[in-house]
Amino acid sequence: MQQKGLRRLTVPLVALVAAISGFAAESHAGSWWETTNLKGDLRYRHEMIDTEGKDARHRHRIRARVGIFGEASPYTKVGIQLATGSDDPVSTNQSLDDAFTTKSIGVDLAYFEASHEKVPGLTLTGGKFANPFFTAGHSELLWDSDWNPEGGALTFAQDLNNRISLNMIGAGLWIDERSSDDDSYMIAGQGVASIKLDEEKSAVAVGAGFFNYVNTRGFEVFYDPEDPKGNSAVTPGEGETGYHYAADFEIVEFFGEATHKFEIFPVTLMGDLVINTAADSLETGWLVGLRIGKAKKTGSWEGRYIYRRVEKDAVIGIFTDSDFRGGGTDACGHELGGAVQLAQNTAFNVTYFVNDIGLQREDKARFTRLQIDLQLKF
User: How many angstroms separate the Cα of 280 from the Cα of each of 189, 221, 247?
Assistant: 23, 19, 8
| Across 244-253, average pLDDT | 98
pLDDT tens readout for residues 302-332 = 999 999 999 999 999 999 999 999 999 999 9
Provide the percentage of residues in the chain whose pLDDT is more than 90: 85
Q: In angstroms, rounded to a whole number, what is the distance separating the alpha carbons of residues 368 and 248?
A: 30
pLDDT tens readout for residues 6-41 = 444 444 445 544 544 444 444 444 566 788 999 999
221 with 259: CB under 8 angstroms? no
Provide the percentage of residues in the chain whose pLDDT is more than 70: 92
Q: Which pLDDT belongs to residue 1? A: 41
Q: In angstroms, rounded to a whole number, what is the distance separating the alpha carbons of residues 353 and 355?
A: 6
* Strand pairing category for 76-84 and 94-95: unpaired
Find the domain containing 124 and state its range: 2-377
pLDDT of 353 strictly over 70: yes
Q: Number of folded domains in the chain?
A: 1
| Across 124-131, average pLDDT | 98
Q: Which pLDDT belongs to residue 263? A: 86
274 with 250: CB under 8 angstroms? no
What CATH number does the domain containing 325 carry? 2.40.160.10
| Across 225-246, average pLDDT | 90
* Higher pLDDT, residue 198 or 45: 45
What radius of gyration, in Å, describes the C-alpha atoms of the chain? 22
Q: Which pLDDT belongs to residue 150? A: 98
User: pTM (2 decimals)?
Assistant: 0.89
pLDDT tens readout for residues 43-54 = 999 999 999 999
Q: Which pLDDT belongs to residue 23? A: 45
